[in-house]
Amino acid sequence: MKRIFSGIQPTGEIHLGNYVGAIRNWVSLMDEYDCIFCVVDYHAITVEYEIDKLGSRTVDTALILLASGLLPEKCKILVQSHVPEHTELAWIFNCVTPIGELERMTQFKDKSKQHRANINMGLMGYPVLQAADILLYKAGFVPVGEDQVQHVELSREVARKYNSRYGNLFPEPQAILSVAPKILGVDGASKMSKSMNNYIGLLEETNSMWEKLRTAVTDVSRVRRKDPGNPDVCNIYTIHRAFSPNNMLLEVDKGCRNAAIGCIDCKTMLFKNMMEELTPIREKAAALKENPHYIKDVINEGASKCSAIARETMYEVRQAVGLFSKK
């Protein structure tokens, strides 16, 4: 089967943006591809983080992946740091990746602005490690949102640079673009994220979720209830597109444009549809929390299976670059 690799950081509570933009799509790919899904904890330490919580957040992230529908019998779920070949290959890729390519990365520029006191080599080399994550398993496909396409293209460039110098070993991975709408945070201005405190967590208390949605920014030009709105510029309607059926989308679109429904009405309808989809996930997550050994068994098994692939790849890489073998 064609192989997929994708990863998610354990940087905090998994939110609607993570679920709609990535995890839900991963579940749909399991039957068609040989899938490897990774909790990328090394990526998470490129910015300031709570050291004492990284381990528990790693397990919690794996828990949500399982609760959302990923099946260990149909895919491999692992933790990045459990397979040391990820960072070994990243070092070799560092030696073929031009610095200029990394300086042009949009995410590096954005994060450098957000973390001015900690602009480190890991932050700049983030996409090189990402290339190593993908190419270690010779994955040909990477499911991503539009904001990550640039990183997949760099992975292709790294593969070309390596292959040109050392021989044709790695495929040039292709991006599989998510068809999910891009969800902004409840501020309606920036990407939903824990660091921006504009997120709705997948496992948040129900009342907290509703309060965040109730006060979320809508079409800023709709000041009063009787003002007509424009769903095309409203983030709440974008979230509707992720959770509501077509007949309701048409109803909301029409009702917003002619002011037949208010923003609270719109949000109430959305919240009902959100909870219909998310409640089974939340219930399964609660059950999994009672069985932490199962989660650890899943990620240990994933690491074992992926280590076998990684060792084979790194043997080929070391041979190709001329490293002295200890055998």
- The residue whose two tokens read 């299976």 is 305
Catalytic residue list contains 254:
no
Amino acid at 182: K
**Would you say residue 116 has pLDDT above 90?**
no
What pLDDT band is residue 128 in, cutting at 50, 70 and 90? Answer: very high
Residue-level pLDDT at 326: 77
Give the mean pLDDT of the chain.
Answer: 93
- Active site (annotated) includes residue 191: yes
Mean pLDDT of 220-238: 92
- Tell me which DSSP letter residue 186 carries: T
Q: pLDDT (tens digit, 9 = 90+) per residue, 28-41? A: 999 999 999 999 99
The verdict on pTM exceeding 0.85 is yes
Check whether 108 has a pLDDT greater than 70: no
Q: Which of 138, 182, 191, 305 is catalytic?
A: 191
Confidence category of residue 231, pLDDT binned at 50, 70, 90: very high
Catalytic site residue from 76, 111, 161, 267? 111
Please, what sign has the CA dihedral across residues 276, 278, 283, 284? Answer: positive
Give yes or no: 267 in active site.
no
In b/e form, how buried is each residue of 11-24, taking b as 16+ CB within 10 angstroms?
bbbbbbbbbbbbbb
Indicate whether 109 pLDDT > 90.
no
Is pLDDT of 263 > 90? yes
pLDDT score, position 168: 97
Catalytic residue among 74, 138, 182, 194: 194
The 3-state DSSP composition of the chain as helix, strand, coil percent (nearest 5) reads 60, 10, 35
